[in-house]
Amino acid sequence: MCLSAHTLHLQICEAFGANRYPFPEDPARQRAMHAEVTARLRELHTTIDVGDRHREAVLQGIAFNLDTWATQVKDMMVLCAPAACVLMA
């Protein structure tokens, strides 16, 4: 069974559920499409990088304050525990 490259490409895309997008035959339009896709990818990478830096900063802040917060929670539990017992009685 000899399949053309185009037919094989279609079968692979269908097997994996991949989206297929039209690609122009004109070289000038191909360059324009390539430039557009490249710009979108660059924007996505920038967005992901900014998100990664923000997440890292938030996690560092949490790690820096974790001991203080744990101590505050324990102190609050000690202060609130007798009040809870009175309310339940």
By three-state DSSP, how is residue 22 classified? coil
∠ CA 84-82-69 to the nearest 5 degrees? 85
Q: How far are the Cα atoms of 10, 40, 59, 88 from residue 28, in angstroms, in the given order?
A: 25, 19, 47, 78
pLDDT above 60 (res 89)? no
Question: What is the CA angle 64-65-70, rounded to 5?
Answer: 135
Of 63 and 88, which is predicted with more confidence? 63
Given a cut of 80, whether residue 81 has pLDDT beyond it is no
Domain boundary assignment for the chain:
28-88
| pLDDT tens for each residue of 2-50 | 678 888 988 999 999 998 888 888 999 999 999 999 999 999 999 999 9
**Nearest-angstrom CA–CA distance, 79 and 70:** 14
What is the structure's pLDDT at 82? 65
pTM to 2 decimal places: 0.57
What is the C-alpha separation between 20 and 35, in angstroms, rounded? Answer: 18
pLDDT at 1 over 60: no
pLDDT for residue 77: 83
